[in-house]
Amino acid sequence: MNQVDTIVLGAGISGLTAAHYLNKKGLNFLLIEATNRPGGVIHTKNIGNYRIEQGPNSIMLNEDVQALINEIDIADKVLTAPGVEENRYIYFKGKLALAKPGFELLKSRLLTFKSIIAFLKEPFQKPSIQDDESIAEFFIRRLNKEILDNLINPMVSGIYAGDPAKLSLRSTFKKLYSMEKEYGSLIKAAIKKRKEKRFKRILTSFQGGLSTFTQGLADQFTNKTWFGTRVNSVTSKGEGYNVTLTRNNENITLKCRRVISTISASTVAEVFTELDESAISSLKNIYYAPMLLLYLAYNKKDIPFSPDGFGFLIPQKEKMPFLGAIWNSALFPQVAPQNQLLNTVFVGGTNNLDVIDNAEEQAEIAGKSFARVMGAPEIPVFKHYYLKKRAIPQFHVGYYKVQEAIDVFEQYNPGLYISGNWRSGVAIGDCVSYNKKLINNNL
Ligand SMILES: Cc1cc2nc3c(=O)[nH]c(=O)nc-3n(C[C@H](O)[C@H](O)[C@H](O)COP(=O)(O)OP(=O)(O)OC[C@H]3O[C@@H](n4cnc5c(N)ncnc54)[C@H](O)[C@@H]3O)c2cc1C
């Protein structure tokens, strides 16, 4: 039996961040990854002259991501989209409407006068006394249904591909939850906080795509990483843990003092057999929304306008066969030939499970619909799609109880840390911040 100090499970952005800070502290560790590459869902692919992202398209920088970029010395590879990224559109009643945050939004055709009144009344609405509620309940209670339907619903689709009537406010929009708890109102909180110095959150990618970031992290500790190795079980053993793995068709058991897991919730339920039964069943029940990513390119001359922003999102009540789209090469021109516009169209989510079994057909329907919105020809110059059957974990109302059960498991098992996007929040920035703090505060 071999001995190692800390074993990190999974080399997505969560596991890579944890390994980076272990490495920086000079601690002894081994990173275990089932596939043959680092990055997890972050996966850039080059197909001919097109660079596509099979997972996230960009990162919204926070201070921890910025620090990580500097620490691995890839700041010279950063790509930003100044002047373009803030233009975000919503497809509304058959046309694209600009949805710039702030006062301009009140003037947009997305909101009627009754919503302006709802904003004025918001500071006087009583805070909730419930432990948790859905995103839909929160916005209807504090503002109104029009704001929920026209602004919040498309935003939730863009981040979670999920349903605001099911998703927990407390576990998804944590800041809004605490703003209401602390200040009694979102507007009062925004006024109080307006003078706080805030990090400028910039939309970022890299030369070579997002995999440049994850590969840059992984390259630092290739000699401490086992790719193509699957963890089967983690059990307590005296003051440490036994980790059983399959590597090159061989079963191995390693003994270690600490385990940091960043694998998915359902895999944790299988691997950590000492979790109690109710926790195992809660983890198995965390639903992951499916997502079909459809990549379409057109000659710019065939599109009757010049896309000047991030892309657009679609409210559910518009009943369109896709959730929204990113105008990739408007943000980062490097990803396609200069005379073309490359787009990623998002299809699926919790309201269109058909993508799981009928990907080809759904891609066809969504592609035609996207072309109509853009005024583009029905046949693109480039088309490709990628289906991720289990893409984004859904934090439904009451999800905080699942988190609490895992907190208790960690307390009873010193040296065991359960991380991953279903613990930290799904944004890459959240994954980085959670794992940096985990290592720096505990080890
Ligand atoms: C389509 C899509 C678009 C997204 N868009 C954005 C975006 O634009 N911006 C943003 O901030 N976020 C976005 N996200 C969310 C974000 O990308 C993810 O939340 C984040 O990358 C998850 O990282 P992770 O390391 O926690 O998990 P993962 O990336 O899933 O990594 C887990 C790793 O564990 C490995 N593993 C699993 N089981 C085992 C096992 N038994 N043994 C060993 N290894 C195992 C897996 O192979 C994987 O490499 C998007 C996600 C998706 C799916």
Report CA(42)–ligand 1 centroid distance (Å): 6
Judgement on whether residues 110 and 187 belong to the same structural domain of the protein: yes
Task: Identify whether 155 is part of a domain.
Answer: yes
For residue 135, the model assigns a pLDDT of 98
Report CA(387)–ligand 1 centroid distance (Å).
14
Whether 259 contacts 417, CB under 8 Å: yes
In whole angstroms, give the CA distance from residue 115 to residue 120: 9
Backbone angles phi, psi at 36, to 5 degrees: -105, 20
Domain boundary among 142, 164, 193: 193
Which residue puts its alpha carbon closest to atom 7 of ligand 1?
56
DSSP 221: G
Residues 116 and 237 in one domain: no
Residues 250 and 226: beta-carbon distance below 8 Å:
no
What radius of gyration, in Å, describes the C-alpha atoms of the chain? Answer: 23
Whether residues 173 and 248 fall in one domain: no
State whether residue 86 is helix, strand or coil: coil
With the most atoms of ligand 1 within 8 angstroms of its CB, the residue from 246, 293, 419, 426 to mutate is 426
Tell me which residues have their CB closer than 6 angstroms to ligand 1.
Answer: 9-15, 32-35, 40-42, 55-59, 230-231, 262-263, 267, 291, 293, 388, 391-392, 420-421, 426-428, 431
Give a yes or no: residue 366 inside a domain.
Answer: no
Amino acid letter for position 180 = E
- Look at strands 250-261 and 2-9 and give their pairing: parallel
Q: Determine the residue of 64, 345, 428 to mutate for testing ligand 1's pocket, defined as the one with the most ligand atoms within 8 A of the Cβ atom.
A: 428
Are residues 149 and 16 located together in one domain of the fold? Answer: no
Q: Quote the tokens at residue 143.
A: 């503002």
Write the residue with the smallest CA distance to atom 35 of ligand 1: 10
Do 120 and 163 sit in the same domain of this protein?
A: yes
Q: What whole-number distance in Å separates Cα of residue 321 and Cα of residue 329?
A: 23
Asked whether residue 111 falls in the same domain as residue 188, the answer is yes
Torsion-angle region of 238 (φ positive above 0: left; ψ -120 to 50: alpha; else: beta): left
pLDDT of residue 185: 95
Tokens of 60: 């919204």
DSSP 363-403: HHHHHHHHHHHHT--SS-SEEEEEEEEEEEE--BTTHHHHH
**Residue 319, token pair as written in the block:** 């009943």
Q: Are 16 and 214 in contact (CB under 8 A)?
A: yes
Residue 274 sits in a domain of what CATH number?
A: 3.50.50.60
Give the tokens for residue 350. 């919790």
Please check whether residue 118 lies inside any domain of the structure.
yes
**Residue 273 located in a structural domain:** yes
User: How far, in Å, is the centroid of ligand 1 from the Cα of 40?
Assistant: 5
The alpha carbon of 426 and the centre of ligand 1 are apart by a number of angstroms equal to 8
Contact 133, 169 (CB under 8 A): yes
Burial of 218 (0-12, 13-18, 19+ CB in 10 A): buried
Determine how many CB atoms are found less than 10 A away from the CB of residue 193. 13
Q: Is residue 411 part of a domain?
A: yes
Residues 114 and 188 in one domain: yes
Q: Please give the distance, rounded to the nearest whole angstrom, from the Cα atom of residue 265 to the centre of ligand 1.
A: 12
Q: Does 163 lie in the same domain as 235? A: no
- Same domain assignment for residues 282 and 409: yes
Query: Residue 372 domain-assigned?
Result: no
The CATH number of the domain holding residue 154 is: 1.10.3110.10
In a domain, 18, yes or no: yes
Residue 342 identity: L
Q: What is the pLDDT of residue 201?
A: 81
The H or E element that residue 410 is part of is helix 399-412
| Number of separate domains in the chain | 2
> Which range marks the domain in which residue 113 is found?
100-193
Beta-bridge mates of residue 340: 299
Residue nearest to atom 36 of ligand 1 (CA): 10
Q: Which of 148, 166, 193 is the last residue of a domain?
A: 193
pLDDT of residue 2: 56
> What does each of the 443 residues of the chain score in pLDDT, given as a tens digit?
456 999 999 999 999 999 999 999 999 999 999 999 999 999 999 999 999 999 999 999 999 999 999 999 999 999 998 788 889 999 999 999 999 877 778 778 899 999 999 999 999 999 998 999 999 999 999 999 999 999 999 999 999 999 999 999 999 999 999 999 999 999 999 999 887 878 888 999 999 999 999 999 999 999 999 999 999 999 998 889 999 999 999 999 999 999 999 999 999 999 999 998 988 999 999 999 999 999 999 999 999 999 999 999 999 999 999 999 999 999 999 999 999 999 999 999 998 999 999 999 999 999 999 999 999 999 999 999 999 999 999 999 999 999 999 999 999 999 999 999 999 999 999 999 999 999 999 99
Domain match, 272 and 405 both:
yes
- State whether 166 and 213 are in the same domain: no
Closest CA to 244 of 24, 32, 12: 32
Last residue of a domain, one of 163, 193, 223: 193
Does 130 map to a domain?
A: yes
DSSP one-letter string for 329-342: HHH-GGGS-TTEEE
Q: CA-to-CA distance for 440 and 443, rounded, in angstroms?
A: 6
Give the helix/strand (H/E) hosting 181.
Answer: helix 174-183
Do 105 and 189 lie in a common domain?
A: yes
